Structure formats: C-alpha cells, structure tokens
Amino acid sequence: MLISKAISLFCLIFMYLDNFLIKAQPPYPFYVCQNGTTYTPNSLYSRNLDATLSSLSTTNSGYSYFTASTGQGTDRANAVCLCRGDVELTICKSCLRDSIFWLRHTCLNQTEAIIYFELCLVKYSNAPILGNNDMQRDFYPLNNIDSFPDKKKSNDLLRPFMSKLRGEAAAGGSKLKLAMENTPGPENTTLYGLTQCIPILSEAQCNDCLEYAINQMSACCDGRVGVVILMARCNVRYEIYNFFTTTRALAPPSPSSTHGSSPPGKETSTSRIEEENVGRKSDLLPQPHNHHSHYRHHYPRRLRRPPPSPPSFHTPGGIQHRLNHPHFSNHNSATYKNHRN
C-alpha cells in the first residue's frame, strides 16, 4: 500500500513539474496567412512558389540566411528564411523544411504567409519581402507574465544593455547581423540578450528595426523578466536564463565594429560565428529552465496559433516525425490573450 501511494505521489509530482517546465518557455510556432488573397492551384504563381520553396534551402549565405525568388511581376514568388545565428546549420535546415511544410498546409493556397519558430522564421510572398517598411506588418510580441519587483531599476539596466546589443548587431557584416551577450541583472539575476537582423539590411535599417522592437518592449511588456519581439526583419529577446544554443562566448566589439560593415572577407567580432565554435547537436537542444515564468502574448487578429495537434500528414520527415525537434519543443504550452485591436 505504501509503495503504491509513493508511486502515485511521484507520478503527480512528475506531471506537475513537467507541465511547469514546459509552460516556463515561450510557445511556438505561430503563423499568419497575411494578405487574405489566394492563388489557383497549378497557376503560374503556384508553380513559381513551388520552385522558390524547393530551392530555398540551397541558398544559404553561410550564416543561416536563405532567400530565393522565381518568376516576374505579380506572379513572382519570393521567400526568405532566417535562423537564429547561434543555431547549427543542420538544425536550421530542419526548421526551414518543417516551416515550409507547416505553412503549405495551414495557409493553403495563400499568396503570402509567415511562420515563427524559436530557432527560425520563414516568409513567402508575391510582393518583395523587404519592400514594405511597415514595422507592424509582421510584428509579434510576447512577454513573461512575471515582473521584476523594482521596475525602474530593471529598466535602468535593460535599456542600455539592449541598446548596446542593437548597435553591435547593426554593425555586423553582410552575412550576419547578430549580437548575444549576458550581463548582471536586477535582483541578483543574469540577463541574457539577443538582437538579430536579416543580414541584407543596411546598418541604418537594422538599427531602425531593432530600435522599434526595443521600444515596443517598454510599450507592451515593461518590467517583465522575459520578452520576445518577433518581426520579419529583425528580432530581440532577453531572459533571466541562458536560452542560447551554444556555450561559446562572443568576443567584445572590435574598434572597427562601430564604423559600419567590415571590409570584404572580414566579419565584426561581435557577430561572427564560426561553425567550428558551434556546439555539438546534442548541446543545442533546449534545456529545462527552473524559473517561475509563464508567457502572455500580444498578437494581431490575423496572427494565428496552430491547432492543438499538428495536421494529420504522414509525409516522411514531416511534422509528425519532428515533434521532438527544438523548434517544436514548446508547442502547445501556454495560454493566449489578444491585446491588440
């Protein structure tokens, strides 16, 4: 009897801890079928989109940024993928493949769509991907519902920290615009911050995007212990736990990094990631974080969270075969509330 009760108690504790640790992390994925227009199957745009998405994974810049286009005029299909700069290429490509698979079945015959996972984003459109300067078009914020006890003190530390990372990422080269660092935080915590832009943006464009994202942190999520701002052009994130997928330490900024992009053949030390410094694939899997955190989401009406279970597609290598992948690990993990009109 005692053994039976002990086993039952252990199972209850395990289920509680498992649920707690899952809910402690921001949930993914999120997608949006953006402009509400559809294309006809087997149309010219449909064939161009098939060709673009099929070739996207072969266009890697060397730093996990992919872009491809096929066709002309209104039938031109454009696509981009941006993986987080600290992610191993094999995992990046897996995230890319699954993102395409997911979008093609959730935004069926839509001419424009975007999806966010923790480790990558993918967007396709019949319009130029970066041609629209509307920052809110792909804007998606989420925040930890827990707050620092002293909001002013936390803001006094966060603002300069994130602004520093903004400048470092923007000063990156044409292959990678990324900054990742940690710093002592409020209440004896450590702040881990990340800023990243699509690398083909100019330094000024990256700066503007990141500045907008950082300002939105204060607008939507002031004083929170963790915030993520996702956009098609750039993204920012800070946490009080180490969410980086590699343990390498980024070098401090070089004197030349403050003067724009590096000359051809060089990368700024703040954003350069060499493949030999990336950890083994087993080191990249997200680790449970023992912190009291739940996330709240501020997303536009058109931004949708996928259904509780993935579509019933049994394509080899498809979603049902990849639910343990890092970019699926947080699926179905939190409660959502719309805070935007």
**Average pLDDT over every residue of 222-251:** 82
User: Can you give the pLDDT at residue 138?
Assistant: 73
- Same domain, yes or no: 149 and 279: yes
CA distances from 13 to 6, 24, 278, 288 (A): 11, 16, 35, 16
Contact assessment for residue 261 and residue 177, using Cβ atoms and an 8 Å cutoff? no
User: Which residue range(s) make up the domain with 186?
Assistant: 140-297
- Same domain, yes or no: 61 and 169: no
Rounded distance between C-alpha atoms, residue 92 and residue 61, angstroms: 12
Q: Confidence band (pLDDT; 50, 70, 90) for 83?
A: very high
**Average pLDDT over every residue of 52-76:** 93
| Secondary structure of residue 308 in the 3-state scheme | coil
For residue 288, is pLDDT > 70? no
Last residue of a domain, one of 297, 318, 336: 297
- Same domain, yes or no: 256 and 144: yes
pTM over 0.85: no
Contact assessment for residue 203 and residue 260, using Cβ atoms and an 8 Å cutoff? yes
User: Does residue 331 sit within a domain?
Assistant: no
User: Can you give the pLDDT at residue 221?
Assistant: 87
User: Can you give the pLDDT at residue 141?
Assistant: 84
**Average pLDDT over every residue of 63-72:** 94
What digits encode the pLDDT tens for the residues 272-286?
Answer: 333 333 333 333 333
Asked which of 170-184, 194-208, 291-305, 318-332 is least confident by mean pLDDT, the reply is: 318-332
* CATH value at residue 49: 3.30.430.20
Number of domains in the chain: 2
- Same domain, yes or no: 204 and 289: yes
Q: For the CA atoms of 327, 101, 84, 19, what is the dihedral angle to 10 degrees?
A: -20
User: Can you give the pLDDT at residue 140?
Assistant: 79
- Same domain, yes or no: 114 and 175: no
> Based on C-alpha coordinates, what's the Rg of the chain?
20
